[in-house]
């Protein structure tokens, strides 16, 4: 297959326009989806994990229990040498968590670490907690950027925004009598503010895509056509895969599911860039 096949499919997709009642049909559908995600999050227990995750976490705990450490480490204050064991255990729990629950878990553990800092009297072990909080914030940011669907981005970002605000407020309660501690906490506060801004930007972009999906769709199709036109012929297998994805996007647009089509096109663009 040559790139002509792809161009023909893209042009066919461009000819299908979301209906004028997009704002009262597809947008309502997407917003209902966001509302469902929020209600699901609010009505569910704090964390509901798969049996595989629970088993893995239990095995980690049992392994440390046999060394006579886990019970003490779980409640260790920041100033304790066992706080490093507590952080290691928490990292293991995060690593075993299902991908869709990892952000919430990391936020909860990060809030707990900040709370631990408010009870500290300063010292070398504070830096360990600060570094762990920084790492968690970086990983949370990366995970949010990897969410593809605007409705999920909007729902998750709104939830994360509230948690980050709580972290920001609690940081102000951390004792900063020592100059080095004051400097470290200020840098951490700056990082929290940076993540807060990133989340705000992601949420705004997601909502803009939902509200103005047809415009984003037209732009994405134009970019896709340009990439295919300017590139060399793709392998037959790659072309067949992209054609199948474009057909899926075609069906979404025809059924007024503009945002779902946009997600497919974004995926195709990334595959062409790789």
21 burial level (CB within 10 Å; 0-12, 13-18, 19+): exposed
Please state the rounded mean pLDDT for residues 236-251: 84
Give 169's DSSP letter: H
Please state the rounded mean pLDDT for residues 86-109: 85
pLDDT tens track for 173-197: 988 877 878 888 999 999 999 999 9
Whole-model pTM: value is 0.72
Predicted pLDDT at 39:
53
Residue 243's φ and ψ, nearest 5 degrees, are -60, -40
- Delimit the domains of the chain by residue range: 3-28+212-273, 31-46+98-210, 50-96
Q: pLDDT band for 42, please (50, 70, 90 cuts).
A: very low
Give 77's DSSP letter: -
128 burial level (CB within 10 Å; 0-12, 13-18, 19+): middle
């Amino acid at each position: 297959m040559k790139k002509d096949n792809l161009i023909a499919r893209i042009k066919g997709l461009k000819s299908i326009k979301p209906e004028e009642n997009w704002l009262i049909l597809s947008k309502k559908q997407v917003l209902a989806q966001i509302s469902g995600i929020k209600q699901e999050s609010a009505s569910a227990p704090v964390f509901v994990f798969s049996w595989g995750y629970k088993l893995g976490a239990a095995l980690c705990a049992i392994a440390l229990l046999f060394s006579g450490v886990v019970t003490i480490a779980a409640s260790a204050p920041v100033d304790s040498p066992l706080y490093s064991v507590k952080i290691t255990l928490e990292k293991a729990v995060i690593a075993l968590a299902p991908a869709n629950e990892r952000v919430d878990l990391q936020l909860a553990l990060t809030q707990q670490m900040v709370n631990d800092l408010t009870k500290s009297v300063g010292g070398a072990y504070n830096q360990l907690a600060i570094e762990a909080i920084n790492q968690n914030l970086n990983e949370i940011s990366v995970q949010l950027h990897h969410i593809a669907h605007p409705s999920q981005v909007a729902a998750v970002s709104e939830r994360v925004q509230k948690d980050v605000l709580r972290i920001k407020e609690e940081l102000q309660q951390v004792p900063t009598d020592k100059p080095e501690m004051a400097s470290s906490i200020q840098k951490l506060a700056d990082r929290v503010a940076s993540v807060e801004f990133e989340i705000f930007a992601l949420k705004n972009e997601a909502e803009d895509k939902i509200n103005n999906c047809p415009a984003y769709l037209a732009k994405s199709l134009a970019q896709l056509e340009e990439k295919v036109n300017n590139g060399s012929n793709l392998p037959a297998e790659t072309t067949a895969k992209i054609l199948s994805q474009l057909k899926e996007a075609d069906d979404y647009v025809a059924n007024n599911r503009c945002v779902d089509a946009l997600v497919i096109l974004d995926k195709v663009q990334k595959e062409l860039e790789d």
